[in-house]
Amino acid sequence: MLLHKYLERNADECPNEVALVEINPSFEPKSRITWRDYSLIEPEPGQQFRREMTWKTFEEKANKFANLLFTRGIEKGDKVAILLMNSIEWLPIYFGILKTGAIAVPLNYRYAADEIKYCLEKSDSSMLVFGPEFIGRVEEIVDRIPQVENLFYVGEDCPSFADSFDRMIKFCSSERPNVELTLDDDGAIYFSSGTTGFPKAILHAHRSLEHAAIVEQKHHGQQKDDVFLCIPPLYHTGAKMHWMGSLVSCSKAVLLKGTKPEWIIRAVSDEKCTIVWLLVPWAQDILDTIDRGEINIDNYSLSQWRLMHIGAQPVPPALIKRWLALFPHHQYDTNYGLSESIGPGCIHLGVENVHKVGAIGIPGYGWQIKLVDENDNEVKQGEVGEICIFGAGVMKCYYKDEEATKESLKDGWLYSGDMGMVDEDGFIHIVDRKKDVIISGGENLYPVQIENFIRANIAVKDVAVIGTPDARLGEIATAVIEVKDGYTLTEDEVNEFCLGLPRYKRPRKIIFADIPRNPTGKIEKPTLRKIYCGESVVAHQVEE
C-alpha cells in the first residue's frame, strides 16, 4: 500500500486521536506545574512548549500542501526539497509531496550554503521548503539556483525572497488529491551521510517506503497504544523509517527537540512513551547522568517503557549490559541499515536475541543478506566479507550517477561497503567499513573491533580509530579518545588496558580529543583524518 494511504486510513478510522506531539524543552514555561499544564500559560509568539496534532489534522495539512504544490505547477516526477529542523510541520509537508506524485528530497540541516546548492542541483529540485534557521544560508545561494522556481518559508517573518507557507496554506483545499501512483513510481531522494565523501543522491521508489514501514512494525510490534519517542533528525531515513511503525499501527509519536538526558527521561515519563530509539552517545549520556545521581529514575513514570533500540553505528556490548542492568524489563534491539536500503532494518538483532549483543543480527523481515569476497564469492562462516543486501527496500539508483550505481548495485544486490562476518550461530557481526580498513605492515586492522574493546573502559566516553601514515608500516592504528566528564585517563592507562588486545591490533598512537559525529550518530572519520593525518599533528607515539 502506498505510504500516504496509511495516513488516509488513520485519518478515516481514528481522526481525533493524537498522531504527533512536538516538545521543545528550550521553551519550557518557568511556572509550570506539569508539562501538561503548559496551555494555561501564555507562550511567547512562536515559542510553544508542547504542540500536538490529530490524524485528521495531519492528513488535512498534507492535503493542503499537496494542493498548494499544484497551484505552483508541481507535477508527478518533480522534485521538492525540504530543509527544516524537526517540527510538527515536517511530516505533513513530506506526505503532501508524496500525495502529488512529486519526489520528496529531504536535506541535512547541517549543510552549508554550497552543500545545499549542490544537493538542489544534483536532485533537480524545482522547489525548496525551508525554515527560519536557514534564512542566511538560502539567501546566500538564492541567486545561484535558477532551477528552484519556488521557495516556501515555514515560520514567522518571511524573508522577501520567499513565499510564506503559513499564509498560502490557509487558502488551499483540504480535499485529497487524485493522482494515480504505483509502488514502482519514484518516491524520494535521500542523500548519503557523507561520511565517506560528498553526499550521493539516493533514489527510492514508493515500494521502498512501504517496505520500510512494514519491516519496522514487524520487528518491533507497534500497536495502537504504543507511543514512540523520536529524537533524531527527520531528514534522515533512520528516524523517519522507525516512526513509520507508528504510521502502520496508527499510534502516537513524540518529536523531542533536544537530546539532554533529563529531557529524554521526562518525555518518556510525561508522554508515557513505550518505544525509544537512541544513538550510542545519548544512551551513554543517560547512563552516566543516572550514575552521577543527576537523575533519579524513581521520580519518573517509566514502567510503560518496553523497548529501547539503537542503530546508525556499532553498539558496544558493554553499553547494553549496563543499560539492561538498570532497566531489566526493557526489550532491546540493534538495527543495521543504509540510506541505500531505506534506512534501518535490513539486518537487526531481534528483541528475542539479547544474548547475542555485539552482533548486528540476522536478515530483517523480507530481506536477504550475503557476504562476499573481492571476487564476489560468498565467504565461509567466520571469514570476513562485504555485506550485500537484497530486498524491496533497495534503492533504484544513485540519481544521475551511473558509475557509482554500477559499483554498488549488481544483479539487484546492494554492496554495502561494510565488512562483516557470520558467527557459528548465524549472526552477522560488523567488522568495519571496507574503506576504513587499516593495512599496517601487511595486516588488515578493523577499527570497529578496536573501538569496541576500548569503549569497555569505564573512563571512555567515545573513541574513533583511524589509520595515520607511518614510514615503515604504511599506516598505523591511531585511537582518538574522548574521556567522560569527571574521569581522567592517561596514555599509559590506555596502553595497559589495550594489553587485552592481540599485539598487532593495539593502537600505536593515542590522542585525547572530542569525537565529531554527524546528526545521525556516525563518526565523521574524514574530519578526523583531515585533522590528524597532517605533518603538524602532535600525538603520542607508542613504542613497538
DSSP state of 379: P
Cβ-proximal residues to 288 (8 Å cutoff; 6+ apart), any chain: 261, 461, 484, 485
What is the C-alpha to C-alpha distance for residues 511 and 463, in angstroms, rounded to an integer?
10
Q: CB–CB of 217/365 below 8 Å?
A: no
Q: CB–CB of 23/255 below 8 Å?
A: yes
Per-residue pLDDT at 520:
60
| SS3 assignment, position 202 | strand
- Write the DSSP assignment of 466-506 as a string of letters: EEEEETTTEEEEEEEEEEPTT----HHHHHHHGGGS-GGGS
Per-residue pLDDT at 434:
66
DSSP state of 177: P
Domains of the chain: 3-258 (3.40.50.12780), 307-433 (2.30.38.10), 441-541 (3.30.300.30)
Q: CB–CB of 290/326 below 8 Å?
A: yes
Residue type, 96: G
Parallel, antiparallel, or unpaired for β 252-256 and 227-230? Answer: parallel
Q: What is the model's pTM?
A: 0.82
| pLDDT tens digits in sequence order for the chain, 544 residues long | 999 999 999 999 999 999 999 999 887 654 333 333 333 334 454 456 899 999 999 999 999 999 999 999 999 999 999 999 999 999 999 999 999 999 999 998 888 898 899 999 999 999 999 999 999 999 999 999 999 999 999 999 999 999 999 999 999 999 999 999 999 999 999 998 654 456 899 999 999 999 999 999 999 999 999 999 999 899 988 888 999 999 999 999 999 999 999 999 999 999 999 999 998 878 989 999 999 999 999 999 999 999 999 876 667 788 899 999 999 999 999 988 889 999 888 999 999 999 998 899 999 999 999 999 999 999 999 999 999 999 999 999 999 999 999 999 999 999 998 889 999 999 999 886 666 778 776 566 878 779 988 988 999 999 999 988 877 677 899 999 999 989 999 999 999 999 988 787 899 999 999 998 876 667 888 788 888 885 333 333 333 3
Per-residue pLDDT at 129:
98
The interaxial angle of helices 3-13 and 206-220, nearest 10 deg, is 60
Q: Which of 278, 234, 242 is nearest to 108 (CA)?
A: 234
Q: CB–CB of 247/4 below 8 Å?
A: no
What is the C-alpha to C-alpha distance for residues 59 and 69, in angstroms, rounded to an integer?
15
Per-residue pLDDT at 539:
38
What is the C-alpha to C-alpha distance for residues 78 and 126, in angstroms, rounded to an integer?
7
Residue type, 542: V
Per-residue pLDDT at 236:
85
372 exposure class (CB count in 10 Å sphere: 0-12, 13-18, 19+): middle
In the numeric block, the cell 537487526 is attached to: 348
**Exposure of 417 in the CB half-sphere (CA atoms within 13 A):** 16
DSSP state of 198: S
| Maximal CA-CA distance, the chain | 72
Q: CB atoms < 10 A from the CB of 392, how many?
A: 17
In the numeric block, the cell 538495527 is attached to: 335
| SS3 assignment, position 460 | strand
Per-residue pLDDT at 312:
67
What is the C-alpha to C-alpha distance for residues 47 and 258, in angstroms, rounded to an integer?
15
**Exposure of 375 in the CB half-sphere (CA atoms within 13 A):** 2
What is the C-alpha to C-alpha distance for residues 413 and 159, in angstroms, rounded to an integer?
46
Per-residue pLDDT at 221:
95
Q: CB–CB of 35/48 below 8 Å?
A: no
Parallel, antiparallel, or unpaired for β 18-23 and 50-54? Answer: antiparallel
